[in-house]
Amino acid sequence: MSTSEASGTGTRGSRILGALVLIGGAVLLVVVGFVLPADEVQRDAARLLPLHVATAWLAYVAFFGTAIASIFYLIPRTRSLAWDRIAGASAEIGVLFLSLLIAVGMIWGNLTWGVFWRWDPRLTTTALLLLLFIGYLALRNVDGASERRARRSAILGVISFLFVPIVHKSVEWWGSLHQAPSVAKLDGDIELDDSMLFSLFLSLVVFSLLYVWLMLHRVRLARLEAMHDARGLDSAIAARTAEAVR
Amino acid sequence: MKALLRVARLIAAKDLRIERRSRVAITQIVGFAVLVLFLFAFAFDPTRGVLARATPGLFWIAVLLSLLLVVGRNFAAETADGALDGLRMAGLEPGGIFLGKFIALLVELLALVVVLLAGVVVFYDTEIPAAGAVLLVTSAFLACTGLAAAGTVYGALSAGVRVRETLLPLLLLPVVAPVLIGATRAFEAALGTPSDDRRAVASVAEGWPWVALLGVFAVMFVAGGLLSFGTLLED
């Protein structure tokens, strides 16, 4: 094993990436906080929009990553616990950012609509998606043989992702019968001027890099955990064997 | 294909025989479902019309809660003493095992739905209009098909796990949310439930698009179960 593994989960590449994310994040905060003009209707609440969109983007990318890695695990030719670790890491990051998304969305909603929650189809689907993947993580956390857990998780990961459209469609129909369209459509009443477009673009880039950085560390950590478990077992066996020989 | 159906019939007959002999389904699960109907009546005052307006939704909530119990039982029998491994070692096709467990679950759910329908007719004073009967039966059947298929897949996913009792609801309930929505709307249309305070009654024709949703859900999960069961049972 190389020295980088002994010293943790960071490598030169990931450190450069991390520095880029930090710099980008700082620039993003300055742009969002000071350069962006306050919206006429939403005032300062509009500053949350670029972060909000980028958070949603990251969460959906992460769940897509889980689904893809799960499929690779399920294909016999590419079956490897590495795919399982990637799927799990991606789902963890997705759940983290989806929780942030909902939290930020609720703050924004309270500022703009005056209520924390509306039974808007998009909101409701997002909340259900979060619950689906919390369940996925719960299944990953059960004890037992890692092969078995990986197989079940992979199937659940694929199913959960495939059901996003049908959940969304049903919630949309359900909402359409219940209430008039939301007064404040997210994309309706905000002028997308140049500074907003730029900050949107910047936040998408920064969040994408952040996803890659988090993935690198989380997957490496998971591999170290697996190695630790295997080594622990090996040394225990060796110790018992030594006892037996004596 | 023929072998698949034969395996399915054997497994389904086995599961239903267990249920018939143990009588747990009759005495406990049906009792639980009826109890839920009573609890809803306590929570939503029947004399003020709230209960009547909410009946379709409450009906399907009662079905979902009972579903958790039925699925738990359905797989408890397989995980005890490694029975599932026995099934696999007997050389049975996993698709057939899925179909068999799915059919048994479907039969149990349909029986439960019939009892619950009788329950709401008797206790909630619900009238089933003749015009909506076809919609009612079709949507109930398709909803149960979807629930049984999803229940079988998720039952297998959480089978043999120590935290199954808490894991199964967490995994299953978000996924069957479309069934709850579709079946509730279809029942509202079939029963002519006033949809809001304006006393506007949902027409029967409004229910059929929801039946399509229930159908898509059922087909997707039956297909998903047939495809994934081999991998699920490998361990």
**Cα distances (angstroms) measured from residue A13 to each of A8, A19, A212:** 13, 10, 11
Structure token digits, residue A218: 């989380």
The CA-based angle A196-A199-A201, given to 5 degrees, is 110
Q: Which residue in A225, A78, A71, A60 sits closest to A153, CA to CA?
A: A71
What DSSP state is assigned to residue A179? Answer: S
Question: Per-residue confidence at A4, pLDDT binned at 50, 70, 90?
Answer: very low
Per-residue tokens: B31: 């009792």
User: Pick from A136, A154, A167: which is nearest to B178 by CB?
Assistant: A167
Nearest residue in chain A measured CA to CA from B159? A152
Nearest-Å Rg of the Cα atoms of chain A is 22
How confident is the model over B51-68, as a mean pLDDT?
A: 90
Digit-coded pLDDT (tens) for A127-144: 888 999 999 999 988 877
> Residue B96 in contact with residue B134, Cβ under 8 Å?
no
Percent of chain A with pLDDT over 90: 24
d(CA A159, CA A152): 11
Rounded to an integer, what is the distance from CA A224 to the centroid of its chain?
21
Q: Which of B88, B98, B152, B157 to mutate to test the interface with A (most CBs of A within 10 A)?
A: B157
Using 50, 70 and 90 to split pLDDT, how confident is the model at B196?
low
Do B145 and B176 form a contact (C-beta atoms < 8 A)? Answer: no
Option in A138, A174, A177 nearest B167 (CB): A138
User: Residues A77-111: pLDDT tens digits?
Assistant: 888 888 999 999 999 999 999 999 998 888 888 88
Hey, what long-range contacts does A98-103 have (CB within 8 A, 24 or more apart)? A98/A59, A98/A126, A98/A129, A98/A130, A98/A133, A99/A130, A100/A55, A101/A52, A101/A55, A101/A56, A101/A59, A101/A126, A102/A126, A102/A127, A102/A130
Work out the burial of residue A235: count CB atoms within 10 Å of its CB; fewer than 13 is exposed, 13-18 middle, 19 or more buried: exposed
List chain A residues with CB under 8 Å of B229: none
Which residue from A minimizes the CA distance to B206? Answer: A177
The predicted pLDDT at position B26 comes to 73
Under DSSP, the state recorded for B201 is B
Positive or negative torsion for Cα A9, A14, A16, A19:
negative
Helices A121-140 and B164-175: crossing angle, nearest 10°? 150
Contacts of B167 in chain A (CB under 8 A): 135, 138-139, 142
User: What token pair was written down for A128?
Assistant: 């259900």
For residue A85, the Cα-to-chain-centroid distance in whole angstroms is 14
Collect all residues from A whose CB is shorter than 8 A from any CB in B: 74, 128, 131-132, 134-136, 138-139, 142-145, 147-148, 151-152, 154-156, 159-160, 162-163, 166-167, 169-171, 173-174, 177
What is the per-residue pLDDT for A185?
47
Q: What residues in B contact A143, CB-CB < 8 Å?
A: 162
Q: What is the pLDDT of residues B37-53, one digit of tens each?
A: 999 988 887 777 788 88
CA distances from A235 to A227, A229, A230, A239, A242 (A): 12, 10, 9, 6, 10
pTM: 0.84
Q: Are B49 and B199 in contact (CB under 8 A)?
A: no
Is 80 exceeded by the pLDDT of residue B200? no
Mean pLDDT across B61-79: 88
Two tokens at B156? 């297998």
Most confident listed range (A165-169, A238-242, B146-150): B146-150
Rounded distance, CA A234 to CA A242, Å?
A: 12
Mean pLDDT of chain B: 85
Instruction: For residue A174, list chain B residues with Cβ-Cβ distance below 8 A.
Output: 181, 185
Confidence of residue A5 (pLDDT cuts 50, 70, 90): very low
Quote the CA–CA distance of B224 and A96 in Å, as a whole number: 28
Rounded Cα gap, residues B82 and B87, in angstroms = 9
Quick check: B220 contacting A, CB < 8 Å?
A: yes
| Amino acid at position B8, single letter | A
Q: Do A135 and B171 touch (CB under 8 A)?
A: yes
Answer whether B175 sits within 8 Å of A170, measured CB to CB. Answer: no
Higher-confidence position of A11 and A64: A64
DSSP state of A188: T
Q: Is the pLDDT of residue B29 over 80?
A: yes
Amino acid residing at A148: R
Quick one: pLDDT at residue B166?
Answer: 86
The predicted model gives A186-192 an average pLDDT of 51
CB pair distance less than 8 Å for B177 and A171: yes
ipTM surpassing 0.90:
no
Burial of A68 (0-12, 13-18, 19+ CB in 10 A): middle
8 A C-beta contact, residue B135 and residue B207: yes
- Closest partner residue to A132 (CB to CB) among B174, B185, B195 is B174
Q: Inform me whether the pLDDT recorded for A191 exceeds 80.
A: no
Asked whether A142 and B167 are in contact (CB, 8 A), the reply is yes
